[in-house]
Chain A
Amino acid sequence: MPQPIDVVEALLFASDAPLEADRIREVLDLADAQEARGLVDTLRERYEAADRALMIVEVGGGFRMVTRPEIAPWLLRLAKTRTRARLSRPALETLAIVAYREPVSRPEVDALRGVNSDAVLDNLLERRLIRIAGRKEAPGRPFLYETTREFLVAFGLRDLGDLPKVDGQLTLPDGVTAEAAVVSPDGEAQAQQDPGAGGTDLTPGS
């Protein structure tokens, strides 16, 4: 008879997207997300203690099973390549703007960068690191962009609260405060980062 912790291991192995504590609770019929989190923690410690090739990380509001960074050279050899494709400097800076200002329109991104950002934004959309969150009620009704869960995964962030704090104008978007950055035990912080939770024009029940 498989133990709950074995099931959690299998769930993590089989999932491609970060697995939320709440999903684990649902699948295993647990009392609360805290119990699910506890199981993951135990599993994570077990992996660490056994010095396994895999580890469990918390990104994008859930848990993922990934290979340890020390294994990377062999994986690259398996892939017959030297490096993984990386984002360009303009792409990274544009992402930074979107992450801190989301939802943000193209003219706003342009103003901050001092150059046209059309191609860069298209590229980020294509890579699914950002997405269209709606339209701004401003002249021309420009699209609004926001970061995706893929962004959080690609940069190993639990949520936007993991971004470094900056003083001045580049403040965090509304709704993401320093408090929310610390993932609360009942997994509410993840819920806040759930895709589609904010920014869109959709209102339930209208």
Chain B
Amino acid sequence: MSAEETPTTAALTLRVGEFEGPLDLLLHLCRTSEIDLAALPVRAITDQYVAHLEAMEFRDLEMAGAYLVMAATLIYLKSKLLVPPDETDEQLDPDAEALRQDLEQRLREYARVKAIGVWLGEREAEQALLWGRPVSELPAADEIPLEDLSVHLLERALKRLIEEQNRVRPREIAPEPPSILERMTEILSVLRDTWSLLFSSLTGGERRRSEIVVTLLAVLELVKMGRIRAQQTELFGEIVIERQPGETITNATAH
């Protein structure tokens, strides 16, 4: 499941460019224009943001939605700026000002998260050069420490079990081939209603090799007993099975 999801997510991130989300894009815009986050200029940043958004292609609705919500917020803030008479004035009414401060706060927070992410990446790179023992060969403890377990592990174990079950294909159970005696009785009962029949009609359909062998043996046995006659006019040709004239067909076992 997750293995299938990962490549799509990666492809998606590429599509949207190097941005992970609206905050990432906004932060990038602020950084490239050397804008101080404390005085987030709504006018300029909104125009740039919307311009970027137009150039983007989205395959994921939710991701597109996240970008659009941010665009809506910015445009709302910008619209508030159009009201004051002096266009250079970036004064907002209290509600809008609160919204801008909130956005500013989120951007700062995100900038910190990014910085720590970079730091973690560097740590990871350093640690990637060290190898410890991956799995201990020590025998398991008699008492399993419960604090290391979590619901997630249980869920994962269950998932694995279910997957294993799905991999196990149902085994096909072959029916027991009929015995020679059964097949002899079958042939004689067919011959009760008709004078002759073709061997292929006995083994036709989807009958398996073992059944064909049993049928042939049954025919040979009946011939030996003198109950039927069998003729094959050419090599690998059709075998015609006939009732022995004058023979009263009863049951093979009655003999």
Same complex origin of A and B: yes
Interface residue ranges, A against B (CB under 8 Å): 13-17, 57, 64-69, 72, 75, 83-84, 86-90, 92-93, 95-97, 99-100, 111-116, 119, 122-123, 125-126, 131-132, 153-157, 163-164, 166, 168-170, 194-196
Residue B108, interface by CB 8 Å: yes
In this complex, which of A66, A86, A92, A125 has the most chain B Cβ atoms within 10 angstroms of its Cβ?
A92
How far, in angstroms, from A116 to B137 measured CA to CA in the complex?
40
CB distance B133 to A65 under 8 Å? yes
CB distance A96 to B124 under 8 Å? no
Give 7 new A-B contacts, CB below 8 A, not counting A114-B110, A170-B109.
A16-B133, A87-B124, A100-B116, A123-B2, A168-B112, A170-B112, A195-B148
Q: Fill in one digit per residue for B88-127: 1 if any A CB lies within 8 Å of its CB, else 0.
A: 0000000000000000011011101111111111011111
CB distance A119 to B109 under 8 Å? no
Interface of B is mostly: helix
Residues of B close to A156: CB separation below 8 A: 123, 126-127, 130
Residues of B close to A84: CB separation below 8 A: 128
In angstroms, how far is the closest chain A Cβ from the Cβ of B43? 21
How far, in angstroms, from A157 to B124 measured CA to CA in the complex?
10
Residue B138, interface by CB 8 Å: yes
Given A16-B132, A125-B152 in contact, is the A155-B123 Cβ separation under 8 Å? yes
Residue B242, interface by CB 8 Å: no
A-B residue pairs in contact (CB < 8 Å), sample of 29: A14-B137, A15-B133, A16-B133, A16-B136, A66-B132, A68-B130, A69-B130, A72-B129, A72-B131, A86-B125, A87-B124, A90-B20, A112-B110, A112-B113, A113-B20, A114-B21, A114-B23, A114-B24, A115-B22, A115-B63, A115-B66, A119-B6, A154-B124, A155-B120, A155-B124, A155-B127, A168-B112, A170-B109, A195-B148
